[in-house]
Structure 1
């Protein structure tokens, strides 16, 4: 996966952030 500069959480699934899998709770809330 590519290293995303921003934390994007499309769902409750964990995402890869710069090679690290982070939880949605760690994702800052941003307005889409």
Structure 2
């Protein structure tokens, strides 16, 4: 169970990182 919740946490963290990158790209396009 511990390993399962860790893998789910990693997937969630990766999804959040993707969202942050997308937001950063949007801001960069707005600045340039």
Give me the TM-score of the superposition, normalised by structure 1.
Answer: 0.13
Q: TM-score, normalised by structure 2?
A: 0.13
Higher strand share: 1
* Higher RCO (C-alpha 8 Å, min separation 6): 1
